[in-house]
């Protein structure tokens, strides 16, 4: 559902919305912050802003009843975890914010600083934070219409209807069948995730359906992340590079069409028929960012921001978090979580009449599993460079020299820590994920 700007203004005016709840002026005791999206960026920002500046009135708007983690969702597809292992309540977050609204924002007026939801609820803000993730561009793939999406899953936004269905499709696939995955060119959410998914699907098929085959149509000219580590793992565990390879990797094959009835996915060079197809379309910043004119970078795909505050360079008093931003930062959960904290810190300073940190630092750690018992990671440190408004890689990061069983323990601990940190889960919370 969507409401055009002129309709929003008409509805709001008729209701006397802006006249009664316009932007707070400088003398108000409680700055009002509206956060759209309770994912890794929005939830972390809400928690830490309330911690560092309790007087701020926070309204958090999120349509989903529970948090479902994209990180670790590949382990569900591979049968190493279940959906409930990566699904968490919002209870602790609801207890922190002033208003937790189970709804969807359908219109924003940045000039008058107001938002309206699908249910007709109206909220004014002094600062608006958009942490709505990514928009999947199904129209860029011929045939990927609503009917096709009933059976051809992307599983790039984790949910029972996506992640859970793809898992069941793999379980139903006959031994000797073909699993085909097709991915777009970067940038997209979590660069190493497609290759991790292929690794874990291969791990499952090797044990459960050993006569099967995997075909990966990659829109990129080569493996986009952790190339050496993935190739080493594929060669060691799945026969890559031999005539008996479980994985058929085809770079430079941008997916362009899907025929759901014929179970065929096509690139400019190949037509691949498969028993199960996992088709990931191109992505851009969440649609809500385009609603206010913040999605201007990279031919209108991503949102440029000031990295000291994550405020949009296009729309004042609006901050963009996580996967929607235009940046050399990976579109990853750890960076979304850290950008939420950085934004919270900056707003706490601004609301107290001080300048935010002029050279903030962000860190990111990303784990990828290669089998059901091995994993590896990359860690990166970024510092803001005011000379060109960029985040520059700093010394202190690193990448695994090879996969190891020990890193599976680290990966499990990393996941539990970021879930607890993002959502404010209590110390007594019992995690059930075994990977």
Residues 288, 135 contacting (CB under 8 angstroms): no
Q: What is the pLDDT of residue 328?
A: 87
Q: What is the pLDDT along the chain (435 residues), one digit of tens a residue?
A: 344 444 433 434 433 444 334 444 444 579 999 999 999 999 999 999 999 999 999 999 999 999 999 999 999 999 999 999 999 999 999 999 999 999 999 999 999 999 999 999 999 999 999 999 999 999 999 999 999 999 999 999 999 999 999 999 999 999 999 999 999 999 999 999 999 999 999 999 999 999 999 999 999 999 999 999 999 999 999 999 999 999 999 999 999 999 999 999 999 999 999 999 999 999 999 999 999 999 999 999 999 999 999 999 999 999 999 999 999 888 999 999 999 999 999 999 999 999 999 999 999 999 999 999 999 999 999 999 999 889 999 998 899 999 999 999 999 999 999 999 999 999 999 999 999
Alpha-carbon distance of 130 to 148, in angstroms, equals: 30
| CATH, range 138-281 | 3.50.50.60
Beta strands per DSSP E along 303-406: 305-306, 311-312, 318-320, 361-369, 375-385, 390-399
Neighbours of 400 (CB within 10 A): 19
Helix (H) or strand (E) holding 9: helix 5-15
For residue 376 the two structure tokens come to: 């590896």
DSSP code, position 23: P
**5-136+284-355, which class in CATH?**
alpha beta
- List Cβ neighbours of 20 (8 Å cut-off, separation of 6 or more): none
Domain ranges in the chain with CATH number 3.50.50.60: 5-136+284-355, 138-281
**Which of 275, 414, 279 lies closest to 333 in space, CA to CA?**
414
Give the three-class secondary structure for 193. helix
Tell me what pLDDT residue 28 has. Answer: 55
Q: Identify the residue whose tokens are 């900056």.
A: 346
Task: Give the C-alpha separation, 287 to 275, whole Å.
Answer: 32
322-332 exposure pattern, b = at least 16 Cβ within 10 A, e = fewer:
bbbbbbebbbb
Distance CA 344, CA 357 (A): 12
Contact predicate 331/338, CB 8 Å = no
């Amino acid at each position: 559902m969507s409401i055009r700007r002129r309709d929003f203004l008409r509805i709001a005016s008729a209701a006397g919305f802006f006249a009664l709840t316009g932007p707070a002026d400088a003398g108000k005791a409680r700055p009002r912050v509206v956060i759209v999206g309770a994912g890794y960026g929005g939830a972390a920002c809400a928690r830490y802003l309330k911690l560092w500046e309790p007087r701020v009135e926070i309204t958090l708007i999120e349509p989903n009843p529970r948090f479902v983690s994209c990180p670790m969702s590949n382990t569900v597809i591979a049968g190493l975890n279940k959906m409930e292992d990566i699904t968490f309540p919002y209870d602790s977050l609801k207890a922190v914010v002033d208003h937790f609204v189970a709804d969807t924002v359908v219109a924003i007026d940045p000039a008058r600083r107001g938002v309206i939801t699908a249910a007709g609820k109206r909220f004014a803000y002094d600062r608006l934070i958009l942490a709505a993730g990514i928009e999947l561009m199904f129209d860029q793939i011929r045939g990927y219409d609503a009917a096709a999406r009933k059976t051809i899953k992307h599983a790039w936004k984790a949910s029972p209807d996506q992640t859970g269905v793809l898992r069941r499709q793999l379980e139903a696939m006959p031994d000797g069948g073909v699993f085909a995955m097709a991915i777009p060119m970067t940038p997209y959410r979590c660069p190493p995730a497609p290759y991790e998914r292929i690794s874990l699907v291969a791990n499952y098929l090797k044990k459960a359906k050993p006569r099967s085959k995997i075909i990966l149509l990659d829109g990129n000219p080569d493996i986009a992340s952790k190339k050496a580590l993935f190739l080493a793992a594929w060669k060691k565990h799945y026969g890559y590079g031999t005539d008996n390879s479980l994985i058929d990797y085809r770079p430079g094959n941008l997916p362009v069409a899907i025929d759901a009835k014929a179970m065929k996915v096509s690139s400019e060079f190949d037509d691949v028929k498969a028993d199960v197809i996992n088709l990931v379309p191109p992505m851009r910043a969440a649609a809500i960012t385009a609603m206010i004119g913040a999605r201007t970078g990279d031919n209108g795909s991503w949102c440029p921001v000031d990295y000291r505050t994550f405020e949009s360079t296009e729309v004042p008093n609006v901050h963009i978090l996580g996967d929607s931003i235009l940046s050399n930062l990976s579109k990853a959960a750890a960076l979304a979580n850290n950008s939420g904290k950085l934004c919270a810190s900056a707003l706490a300073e601004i609301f107290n009449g001080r300048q935010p940190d002029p050279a903030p630092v962000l860190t990111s750690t990303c784990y990828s599993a290669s089998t059901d018992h091995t994993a590896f990671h990359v860690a990166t440190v970024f510092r803001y460079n005011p000379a060109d408004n960029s985040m520059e890689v700093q010394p202190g990061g690193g990448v695994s020299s090879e996969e190891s069983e020990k890193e599976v323990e680290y990966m499990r601990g990393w996941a539990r820590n970021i879930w607890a940190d993002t959502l404010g889960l209590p110390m007594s919370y019992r995690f059930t994920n075994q990977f």
